[in-house]
Structure 1
Amino acid sequence: MRNKIIGLLFLVMSVLLIVACSSKSNDDSKADDSSEGGETETGTETGGELKIAVSAQPPSLDAHISSSSASLDIGRMIFETLMTLNEDHQSVPMLAESIEESEDGKTYTFKLREGIKFHNGEEMIAEDVEASMNRWLENSPRALLLLDHANFEAKDKYVVELTLEKRVSDVLDIMAGQGQFAAIMPKEQIDTATPEGVSEIIGTGPFKYEDWRQDQYVHLVKFDDYQSRDEEPSGYAGRKEALVDDLYYYFVPDSSTRVAGLQTGEYDIAEQIPQDSYERLEEMDGVQTHVYYFGTLNMFYNKKEGIMSDPKMRQAVNIALNMDEIMLASYANENLFKVDHNYMNPDSVGWASDAGKDFYNQNDIEKAKELLAESGYNGEKVRLLTTRDYDDYYSAAVVVQEQLEQIGMNVDLEVFDLATLYDNRAEPDRWEMFFGGVGYNTSPSQLLAINPTYPGWTEDPRITELLAEMGASTSQEEAKQHWDELHEFLWAEYLPASILGHYTNIIAVSDKVENLTIFQATVPWNTRKAK
């Protein structure tokens, strides 16, 4: 109303404007009185604390050396990576501004975002990225296996170059992987790190490390100098805002205590909820349940020695299986699992495949008996290893034993604690099949089922050939074609493992928590708690 307007119209509009401004001022005053932390640029109220109950204390918060889910979930708030995953499970830049690939696919040049601050106030530059990524290459099992002889080198203050011995088409997917992830830390922390880890926990994320009280909690606080990307939030990518001042991760091993604390308001979020609590949680007032797919339940075959080294035996077993019965027995509620043949995440835009689905969940008893006869099976004992430490493993094993006995197999269920199961599966003369859950990977080359060093010992020239062709591909489309071909081969002929189905994790959340993202885990940035 700064323009000059004469007459009655001016007077009327002036009065209306004064009234409107007065009303808005009163509303803003009330909002300020109720807010402890102020507002973001978008007007979202901030402040307060968010308390998350988790099942275990992390062995370390050094992302380069720890693969535990507790380390990952907390570390993701503190550290960031050059590449990360969007909601379609595709690798996209985070700390990288742009990426250039050489024509031969052996060199990647990363232009870094400028002005990114570490939690110690120092700017992130290329020498920090070089040191961090080369340490990750030395410590990450998947990097050691898939990126042998790779090297990162600082070329300018904000430019880092990755050189590879050969083209690796999924190198950016590998870098965006979440287990023992490629966190960027200050160079001085990398230089002084010991085998036990870095001396200080310093990253570039929206929250910074404040305190760790052993057997109690890890406390993170809002990083005021955090520099967010501008893109819309998507998975772990895009815009991040710390909308609470304090973030606590409480270590609460007992699941019933986690749930009870959620009901009393002691915790705002309870993670790792057992499946048998799902229906009770669904009926609780003031609590929301979030279910997300996390990985595959697998039955691995011993291909190194014994009767399961014969592909016909593996095919006979797989054809006999009724996956619906197995998964329902393991997870009790159809909302908690998916019967699907994919070795990869079925929601992965780049890697989900229809190939091989005709060989999944056949439950064909007569055909299984025919293949068993063709293999020459003569009643030999088949040792099926499982554990009661994970109820789903044990329940699946009991059902599989029953189903295989229907086709005439002599199945011996051997039940161990988890540590002993791991010891036994490492020895090829001690088992024929074992059960295991495996979290999702960012690309097929990282799958344990086709890793020749993983128990089961997958060795086949066709698999090696197709993996090499995937790695040498010049586009995602070409790599996907080779993966479809390999996926078909794994189901139709080789069968390193039978994918029984896809399992979920359950998170329970107070209805006071707003805008929480669930993407393979709890993502508390962009999240606030109602007053």
Structure 2
Amino acid sequence: MKRRLLVLLVIAGMSCLLPFAADAAPKTDGRPNGGAMSYGEYGRPSTLDPITSNEMISLRLTELIFNGLVGINEKQEIVSELAEKWDVSSDGRTYTFFLRKNVTWHPREGEEARPFSADDVIFTYKMTMHPKTITSLKVRYEFIDTAEKVDDFTVKFSLKRPILNALAKFSFKIIPRHGPSNPLFLTREDTFVQNPVGTGPYILKNITADREIILVANENYFKGRPHIDKIISKPFADQNIMTQALMFNAIDMIVLVNPRDIPEIQGDKRFVLQPYNAL
């Protein structure tokens, strides 16, 4: 993994690290609630789905919108996500995941929220591996031989061979079978890639004419409602202008720091310079 630098402007009610924002915490953790946080990105995301996305700008957003069967926290520990527990066979070739039963997909406008189930997991795997789906994930998951639905809340993956750290690879994000317009494979022409539906702590509200991406808190998130009400991703074509926007309080955070700006930022007590792991 590469080490990147993130600048966080600490203001009342917004003490949060974006790379780990998906770990919503209980309301009793003492952290402040409410407010909005805007952060600057150097560029725009090409897609907002976790399958065709292949750059960090998109992946930062899909981390907030979607969940995997398991997750990896800031300490690089494997934690429960959509699977509440799992079993691994003695030969290391069969992984059985027992899914949460209280998870729903973000509701589309005018619709009720639909329940998450094993069908969505199998759908995601098959769509990812379909020959017509163009994604870098195929290589990462070629070690899987079969994916099987055992019942509505149990899935079983059989591996071609045991591999090191296989469990961590099941952090791939799950998409709903009712999401893409094509039920077999996913392309960047599908409306789902710009209007995604997930299970994560934040719901895509809209994309403005200026290409700002607005996410709002998922009130029904299975790990507990996130503290921040709204997250706004603002694109910048110039990294210097993005840094100046931070310095003049036009945005709260940037996620990529120009090395030549580090001394100035470190010398300003308003900011916290936080290294984080990037793919």
Q: TM-score if structure 1 supplies the norm length?
A: 0.43
Distance 2:139 2:275 in 1: 33
8 A Cα contact 1:105 1:169, kept in partner = no
**1:279 aligned to which of 263, 266, 274:** 263
- One-letter amino acid matched to 1:184: I
1:147 aligned onto 2:142: yes
For 1:85 and 1:206, how far apart are their aligned partners in 2?
15
- Residue-by-residue CA offset, 1:202-261 (whole Å, 9 max, x unaligned): 111111011123553110001101110xxxxxxxxxxx6421211100001222222221
> Aligned partners of 2:58, 2:210: CA distance in 1, in Å?
14
Compute the displacement of 1:44 (Å). 4.5
Per-residue CA deviations over 1:271-330 (Å, capped at 9, x if unaligned) read 211101100111224222223455xxxxxxxxxxxxxxxxxxxxxxxxxxxxxxxxxxxx
Is the CA contact 1:147–1:164 (under 8 Å) kept in the aligned structure 2? no
Cα separation, 2, equivalents of 1:174 and 1:248: 29
Which whole-Å CA distance do the structure 2 matches of 1:103 and 1:218 have between them?
Answer: 45
Structure 1 segments (4+ residues) deviating >4 Å: none
Q: Distance in 2 between matches of 1:172 and 1:81?
A: 11
3-state SS of paired residue (1:210): strand
The structure-2 alpha-carbon separation of the partners of 1:214 and 1:56, relative to structure 1 and needing over 3 Å to count, comes to farther
Give the one of 77, 83, 87 matched to 2:70.
83
RMSD: 2.4
Does the CA-based 8 Å contact 2:51-2:137 persist in structure 1?
A: no
What is the alpha-carbon distance in structure 2 between the residues aligned to residue 288 and residue 88 of structure 1? 19
Aligned residue runs from structure 1 range 71-220, under 5 A = 71-120=58-107, 121-138=113-130, 140-144=135-139, 147-148=142-143, 150-176=145-171, 182-190=172-180, 191-192=182-183, 194-196=186-188, 197=190, 199=192, 200-213=195-208, 215-220=210-215
CA distance in 2, matches of 1:118, 1:253: 33
Find the aligned partners of 2:211 and 2:179 in 1 and give their Cα distance. 26
Q: Distance in 2 between matches of 1:214 and 1:135?
A: 31
Offset of residue 46 of structure 1:
2.0
Letter in 2 for 1:91: I
User: Which amino acid letter does the alignment assign opposite residue 203 of structure 2?
Assistant: K
Q: Does 1:288 align with 2:272?
A: yes
Q: Is the contact made by 1:282 and 1:289 (CA closer than 8 Å) also made in structure 2?
A: yes
The 1-side partners of 2:215 and 2:137 are apart by: 29
**Closer, same or farther in 2 for the Cα pair 1:91/1:285, shift >3 Å?**
closer
Which consecutive residues of structure 2, in runs of 5 or more, have no partner in the other structure? 1-11, 14-25, 108-112
Query: What CA distance in whole angstroms lies between the structure 2 residues aligned with 1:145 and 1:115?
Result: 29
Point out the structure with the larger helix share.
1
Q: Deviations over 1:337-390 (max 9, x none)?
A: xxxxxxxxxxxxxxxxxxxxxxxxxxxxxxxxxxxxxxxxxxxxxxxxxxxxxx
> Which residue of 43, 57, 72 maps to 1:70?
57
Quick one: which amino acid aligns to residue 51 of structure 2? H
- Decide whether the 8 Å contact of 2:128 with 2:137 is kept in 1: no
Deviations 1:36-80 (A, max 9, x none): xxxx74265422211011111000001101111000001111001
Task: Report which of the two structures shows the higher radius of gyration computed on alpha carbons.
Answer: 1
Shift of 1:96: 0.8
Which of 215, 220, 227 is equivalent to 1:225? 220
Which residues of 2 match residues 301-312 of structure 1 at below 5 A? none
The 2-side partners of 1:130 and 1:49 are apart by: 36
List alignment gaps of at least 5 residues for structure 1.
Answer: 1-33, 177-181, 229-239, 295-438, 440-531
Contact kept in structure 2, 1:62 and 1:198, CA below 8 Å = no
What is the CA-CA distance between 1:148 and the residue it aligns to?
Answer: 4.4
- Bigger Cα displacement from structure 2, 103-112 vs 73-82: 103-112
The answer for the alignment partner of 1:350 in structure 2 is none
1:220 to 1:92, Cα distance in 2 relative to 1, 3 A: same
In structure 2, relative to structure 1, the CA distance for the partners of 1:88 and 1:45 (3 Å cut) is: closer
Q: Quick one: distance in 2 between partners of 1:201 and 1:146?
A: 22
Distance 1:149 1:175, change over 3 A: closer
**Could you say which structure has the greater relative contact order, defined with CA pairs below 8 angstroms and 6 or more residues apart?**
2
Q: Aligned to 2:127, what secondary structure does the other structure show?
A: helix
If each structure's strand is expressed as a fraction of its own residues, which one has the higher value?
A: 2
Q: Please report how far the alpha carbon of residue 140 of structure 1 lies from its aligned counterpart in structure 2 after TM superposition.
A: 4.5
Deviations 1:112-154 (A, max 9, x none): 0111111121111110111112323445535435524533221
Q: What is the identity, as a one-letter code, of the residue corresponding to 1:112? A: L
Give the 3 Å change call, closer, same or farther, for CA 265–71 of structure 1 in structure 2.
same
* Number of equivalences: 242
Counterparts in 2 of 1:51 and 1:149: CA distance versus 1, 3 Å: closer
Q: What residue in structure 2 maps to residue 245 of structure 1?
A: 229
Q: Show the counterpart of 2:8.
A: none
How far, CA to CA, are the matches of 1:195 and 1:81 in structure 2?
21
Match of 1:345?
A: none
8 Å contact 1:49–1:247 — kept in the other structure?
yes
